[in-house]
A and B are shown apart, each in its own frame.
Chain A
Amino acid sequence: MAETKIHAYYDDDDVLMHAVKKVKAAKHHIEEVYCPFPVHGLDRAMGLAPTRIAITSFMYGCLGLTIAIVMMNYIMIQDWPMNIGGKPSFSYIENMPAFVPIMFEMTVFFAAHLMVITFYLRSKLWPFKEAENPDVRTTDDHFVMEVEVHNNEDELKELLLETGAVELNIIKKRH
């Protein structure tokens, strides 16, 4: 980790977007941006990779559907193939319409919950987790861009002030 980093504070999402583009154009690496609300297009401007969380959800849904089919096939067709109200219990497909509601619900259940759990784990969110935003204003109305300094402090400072930062916080590490 670099010895010094700069937190540049912005008070407007449009100014932030312009700043991100300028800082990227000047070939500086943006370590992190903290926002009080989702700024559309920010991830693309920063060059973040798209999230794959929707793909995980699809796979979890497939898992839920499989579990539902295997469970009901075992219980209703294999283990106790009983005659309940004249419903055919000879094969899964014959009584399939009655299994559709639960097949559907379990697909949704698995897709939704496992995706949310994945999100919480990947974004490191859980009860008793300490918040790591650098300033309390980043959940209110300020945006903070974190840039690392590599022997170019003055140049970077000037660039960030030029982009409309309302406040710069230069964080130096003391040994």
Chain B
Amino acid sequence: MASHYEAPIRKPLVLGDKGYHDVSVDIAAPVEGKANKHWWIVFSISLAALLWGIGAIVYTISTGIGTWGLNKTVNWAWDITNFVWWVGIGHAGTLISAVLLLFRQKWRMAINRSAEAMTIFSVIQAGLFPIIHMGRPWLAYWVVPIPNQFGSLWVNFNSPLLWDVFAISTYLSVSLVFWWTGLLPDFGMIRDRAVKPFQKKIYSLVSFGWTGRAKDWQRFEEVSLVLAGLATPLVLSVHTIVSFDFATSVIPGWHTTIFPPYFVAGAIFSGFAMVQTLLIIMRKVCNLEAYITVQHIELMNIVIMITGSIVGCAYITELFIAWYSGVEYEQYAFLNRATGPYWWAYLLMMSCNVVSPQIMWFKKIRTSIMVSFIISIVVNVGMWFERFVIIVSSLHRDYLPSSWTMFSPTFVDIGIFIGTIGFFFVLFLLYARTFPVIAQAEVKSILKSSGERYKSLRAAGKPMYKIRKDGVVRETIMDSEGTLSNTDK
């Protein structure tokens, strides 16, 4: 609003001479337009990867987990690595929509919708692994404490794997309603613009009859704020619980109290990197450069840099504590990581996660779109290896040297991982064509404080609005059935 004081140091978040209507047009354009050839090519590749993954999953379930590269010592590897990786990626979405909302960060407005979509889609990928890595996945419903004919026979609430069930299902379902509630005004906008009857019907259905009354908006904002307040501890707790899968064990290299915050920091780190990868492409192909600006990219890079430093700090803490503990098993676990047969994975993790984000200290680098894109991919490779190193290098050599072994994945392990990447992109590509990818209602609410048009008006000392006295008057007759008919215009 005009009355709002905005420090002149703040750079505009919406570039160009954009008014409210321009925002609607720009955001509705990808939904109203047709998919181009490139979309179909990428979609086909993703679909092919998904189908390949489905094949690998069907093969695993029908033949057995023995088709994977696991052995009696290393009985968790790619499955849980991928699970933690996908859950971690999902976390940035909630961070952007919830934590940044609590901190009143206006720059989140342009990226929160896509970040939340990324959360939903990656938690779906993560959710596959706890099922398919079971030896008997058709009995998966036994993890739910439902009364039954075995006495009743219940579950054991001491296990972090059961906490995972509660955490992931709460996280997915709460993220979903948070996302959908935020979508209602935007679906309403597309519904009211739609000219094709089928499109109108679909968007009427998904917008739940959103009308935009003052009372609706008041409740909407309160609900968003409370959900943000609930989602923030939720996102911290979910990855904490995921980290408990390891931290509550007795395995040297796993049994650490630093895991909960360190996993959460890693999750934000990898999640923001994934948002960066997706948005750099999206702003280009959907012509949203005016909304997702270099400033947004820079701010995300700063978050990546900070969380990358937290992760680096955690690595050093682990190493220090291992040395300081005087426990030879613990010391060997870290010696093995650095110099054992998986030294290359440890080196990759260290260089991708600790070194690469540090170059973001240079402004020239963190404002470069090309470098940001490359670093964002490097970070996700590094974070995959972080989980792989933690899981496999701690398992393959622990207490008894007689059970020391190695791990190498089979094509089924790899195929399932590729399948989840394909599934993720299938969902994300469909989303980008059918959903308003930017929360237009929220962007409109910051347009006057952060839009370039209004910022220049304010800088020039010109009024932000004009009270017009030349309104037109028309009359409408409503008959007894409630149908309206215009008499004049």
Name A residues whose Cβ lies closer than 8 Å to a Cβ of B.
8-9, 11-15, 17-18, 32-43, 46, 48, 50-51, 53-54, 57, 71-72, 75-76, 79-80, 84-85, 87, 95, 98-99, 101-102, 104-106, 108-109, 111-113, 115-116, 119-120, 122-133, 136-141, 157, 160-175
For residue A23, give the distance in angstroms from its CB to the closest CB of chain B. 13
Cross-chain contact A37 with B174 (CB below 8 angstroms): no
Known: A108-B230, A116-B227. A140 touches B192 (CB 8 A): yes
The closest CB in chain B to the CB of A102 belongs to: B166
Name B residues whose Cβ lies closer than 8 Å to a Cβ of A.
1-3, 19-21, 24, 145, 152-158, 160, 162-163, 166-167, 170, 173-174, 177-178, 181, 184-185, 188-189, 191-193, 204-223, 225-227, 230-231, 233-234, 237, 240-241, 244, 440-442, 444-445, 448, 464-469, 471-480, 484
Majority secondary structure of chain B interface residues (helix, strand, loop or mixed): helix
Cross-chain contact A129 with B208 (CB below 8 angstroms): yes
Cross-chain contact B465 with A132 (CB below 8 angstroms): no
Query: Of the candidates A48, A161, A170, which one forms a contact with B214 in the assembled complex, judged by CB atoms under 8 Å apart?
Result: A48
For residue A85, give the distance in angstroms from its CB to the closest CB of chain B. 7
Known: A75-B157, A104-B237, A116-B223. A170 touches B476 (CB 8 A): yes
A-B contact count (CB 8 A): 266
Cross-chain contact A167 with B209 (CB below 8 angstroms): no
Cross-chain contact A33 with B24 (CB below 8 angstroms): no
For residue B133, give the distance in angstroms from its CB to the closest CB of chain A. 21
- Collect the chain A residues with CB atoms within 8 Å of residue B207's CB: 131
- Collect the chain A residues with CB atoms within 8 Å of residue B467's CB: 15, 18, 163-164
The closest CB in chain B to the CB of A133 belongs to: B211
The closest CB in chain B to the CB of A173 belongs to: B478
Cross-chain contact A113 with B471 (CB below 8 angstroms): no
For residue A53, give the distance in angstroms from its CB to the closest CB of chain B. 5
Query: Of the candidates A13, A41, A113, which one forms a contact with B177 in the assembled complex, judged by CB atoms under 8 Å apart?
Result: A113
Cα-based distance from A116 to B99 in the complex (angstroms): 19
Cross-chain contact B221 with A136 (CB below 8 angstroms): no
Cross-chain contact A161 with B173 (CB below 8 angstroms): no
For residue B53, give the distance in angstroms from its CB to the closest CB of chain A. 29
Cross-chain contact B473 with A168 (CB below 8 angstroms): yes
Cross-chain contact A40 with B471 (CB below 8 angstroms): no
Chain A CB count within 10 A is highest, among B154, B240, B471, B477, for B471
Known: A35-B214, A46-B214. A166 touches B472 (CB 8 A): yes
Known: A105-B237, A139-B189. A128 touches B205 (CB 8 A): yes
- Collect the chain B residues with CB atoms within 8 Å of residue A37's CB: 20, 185, 217, 440-442, 444-445
Cα-based distance from A40 to B473 in the complex (angstroms): 28
The closest CB in chain B to the CB of A9 belongs to: B471
- Collect the chain A residues with CB atoms within 8 Å of residue B223's CB: 53, 115-116, 119
Known: A53-B219, A84-B158, A102-B166. A33 touches B445 (CB 8 A): no
Cross-chain contact A139 with B185 (CB below 8 angstroms): yes
